[in-house]
Amino acid sequence: PVCSMGNSTSRLYSALAKTLSSSAVSQHQDCLEQPDSAQLDPIDPKDLLEECQIVLQKRPPRFQRNFVDLKKNTASNHRPIRVMQWNILAQALGEGKDNFVQCPMEALKWEERKCLILEEILAYKPDILCLQEVDHYFDTFEPLLSRLGYQCTFFPKPWSPCLDVEQNNGPDGCALFFLKDRFELINSANIRLTAMKLKTNQVAIAQTLKCNETGRLFCIAVTHLKARTGWERFRSAQGCDLLQNLKSITQGAKIPLIICGDFNAEPTEEVYREFSNSSLNLNSAYKLLSPDGQSEPPYTTWKIRPSGECRHTLDYIWYSQHALNVNSALGLLTEEQIGPNRLPSFNYPSDHLSLVCDFSFNQDPDRLL
């Protein structure tokens, strides 16, 4: 029999190669509708992973991270829902503004770095993917992920710092992707966050989904709050605004909620306390990795800039603890794995670590009849 693998692989390689060039982006820059890639042939994730590995063959292999089982003795009658949160580092900022003094510019080349990002996503196979600092949505993530079966939504910042960088690829923003064969979109809201009644440059996407397997509704939200020291009260106001919006969308927590984000805030900040003490009854999933279940990880970002070394916990996955269980969470990279030059690096494409959790719905006694 004739093997057609070569042909399909070469077609796939050309799909990947097209996304290496940012020339295609200009036609999509102001386009709010979905591009035509949804009509293209589906991609086998294994084939795409293979293509990424060919591009990355001169780089060191990806780090091994293990899932930590957090299941209590509660059996679930449905497949878990895997959620991935990640600030992937906007390409324009990585090359132009962030000044990672220990990271060689060669490690930041988009042709290879985007394959490292895709490799990480393909390795963990999330059902729902929440990304921040996406500035290659139209020429990379939407065309490829839609062909992997995801429904894709992007909401750029109204004024993105990426636009200050020469030869940028458009504004960065938040992006949300979910597998269409697992969920049905019921409602979607793009939220421009306010602070002290003023519209800000930070955004969120909140979508109400129906789980096809269980028929249960839940809301997934992604956000990226204002960065930098000195803006703590501003972040707190943005967090309050987001919580108010989510209270309305979830009908006061009747609909379970998962919020992914780079909050740019340590657990000591006011905005963290607001989420912890909200009437939405939220808990932070990654606290469950600590021995007492009460402490956040020691870091979710670790980089070296001209001002010095920055090691912070800024990224979170919040969830409705009355309605959802965390079955497992992906362990973080160790200091030894990260290495003395910190992030990003030839091994890892972003200055933030990805967070991945498996969730299940709590058993509803009314549904056991």
pLDDT value, residue 369: 31
Per-residue burial over 66-99, b = 16 or more CB atoms within 10 Å of its CB, e = otherwise: eeeebeeeeebeeebbbbbbbbbbbbbbbbbebe
Q: What is the Cα–Cα distance from 216 to 324, expressed in whole angstroms?
A: 11
CA 70 from chain centre, in angstroms, equals 21
Nearest CA-CA partner of 318 in 283, 266, 278: 283
Assess if residue 167 is contained within a domain: yes
Is 102 part of a structural domain of the chain? yes
Task: Tell the residue number behind the tokens 């035509």, with chain if given.
Answer: 36
Distances (CA, A) of 24 to 18, 19, 361: 8, 8, 41
Residue 11 lies in a domain: no
* 62 within domain boundaries: no
**∠ Cα 287 190 96 (to 5°):** 75
Q: Kindly state whether residue 341 falls inside one of the protein's structural domains.
A: yes
pLDDT of 21 reads: 47
Residue 64 in any domain: the answer is: no
Q: What is the CATH number of the domain that holds 199?
A: 3.60.10.10
Total domain count, the chain = 1
For residue 69, being part of any structural domain is answered with no
Q: 331: domain range?
A: 79-364
Q: Would you write out the chain's pLDDT as a tens digit for each of its 369 residues?
A: 333 334 444 445 555 655 554 444 444 444 444 555 556 789 999 999 999 999 999 999 888 899 999 987 667 788 999 999 999 999 999 987 667 888 889 999 999 999 999 999 999 999 999 999 999 999 999 999 999 999 999 999 999 999 999 989 999 999 999 999 999 999 999 999 999 899 999 999 999 999 999 999 999 999 999 999 999 999 999 999 999 999 999 999 899 999 999 999 999 999 999 999 999 999 999 999 999 999 999 999 999 888 888 999 999 999 999 999 999 999 999 999 998 889 999 999 999 999 999 999 997 644 433
239 C-beta neighbours (distance < 10 Å), count = 25
Dump the DSSP string for 190-253: EEEEEETTEEEEEEEEEEEEEETTT--EEEEEEEE---STT-HHHHHHHHHHHHHHHHHHTTTT
> Is 322 part of any domain?
yes
